[in-house]
Homo-oligomer: A and B are copies of this chain.
Amino acid sequence: MIEAYFAEKVPEVNRWLDQLMPPVTTPPPRIHEAMRYSLMAGGKRLRPILVLAAGEVFGGAPERLYPVACAFEMVHTYSLIHDDLPAMDNDDLRRGMPTCHKQFDEATAILAGDGLMTHAFRILAEMDAPAEQKVRVIRELAVGSGTVEGMIAGQIVDLEAEGKPIDAGRLAFIHRAKTGALIRGALVCGGIVADAAESDLALLSAYGDRVGLAFQIADDILDETATAEQLGKTPGKDAAAGKATYPALYGLEASRKQAEALAEEAIEVLAPLGQRAQLLIEMARFVVNRTS
């Protein structure tokens, strides 16, 4: 079921991304070419899919869910472009293709990342939804990708922690902030534009917290066990860079168990939703069992 859901929705997400981006011929073409290069390079589209899945539980309308889904993917992609820069993780390969600064140049990559973030907020401001919903979604996106327990917070602590001993609390903070916060935000925003009740938004938030952390643990595991072909990026780089990872701290087997336990916790959180939660339940298991 989950594979069928991805197979059905990912092409739709890509179509919306294409429509919501300025055409590649829009002046100045170079910046839009670079933004599209990284945005349309494929990728799992997990964050958009989570927006859609959460939104569907509460009967959200596609014309509100897709712009939100795309805004989250744009912010995720900007973060990949900036993280791949020589001054950060210095990666040459992403989604199976040369990274943005390799394909273009560093200045263009910095600006393409900036441009994707800016455009994400513009899309949310312009979408067809009540102003109150738009403001809430914009706030969630800014918080999830921000410097206080958000994506940027996780990235800077991750960089600081390189090559140093790390304790369990700090490692969980990095993973929750770097990856979990945006995933949690995507789920909550799917609920917001679907007019979900506050109590249901709280369930999505709690579910997203567990799924987000589980996703990043699974990512750590894949970085040690998968091939470049499976990942579309260079594997083993985290360990080589002395990055703080779950397998490095706990070992592979214990990391797997933690990810699975978090997925089960996420599923339990959704109990009040009963049958409606089926898609999100499968999603939690998919996140930890994926092979790429």
Contact = CB atoms under 8 A, between A and B. Distances in A.
Interface stretch (A5-13, A54-62, A110-118, A201-209): A110-118
Report the copy number of this chain in the oligomer: 2
Given A138-B125, A142-B125, A156-B111, A147 B35 contact: yes
A159 B107 contact: yes
Interface in A79-135: 82, 85, 87-88, 105-108, 110-111, 113-115, 117-119, 121-122, 124-126, 130-132, 134-135
Contacts of A121: 121, 138, 141-142
A235 B147 CA distance: 33
Contact of A153 (B27, B106, B134): B27
Contacts of A106: 87
Interface residues of A, number: 53
A257 interface: no
A230 interface: no
Contacts of A147: 22, 26, 28, 31-32, 35, 111, 115, 118-119
A110 B88 contact: yes
Given A87-B107, A118-B147, A135-B134, A156 B28 contact: yes
13 contacts: A26-B147, A27-B153, A27-B157, A31-B147, A31-B153, A32-B147, A107-B156, A108-B159, A114-B117, A118-B150, A121-B138, A125-B139, A125-B142
Interface of A: 22, 26-28, 30-32, 35, 78, 82, 85, 87-88, 105-108, 110-111, 113-115, 117-119, 121-122, 124-126, 130-132, 134-136, 138-139, 141-143, 145-148, 150, 152-153, 155-157, 159-160
Given A22-B148, A26-B147, A87-B106, 19 more contacts: A22-B147, A27-B157, A28-B147, A28-B156, A85-B107, A87-B107, A108-B156, A113-B114, A115-B146, A115-B152, A117-B117, A118-B142, A118-B145, A118-B146, A118-B147, A121-B141, A126-B139, A131-B135, A135-B138
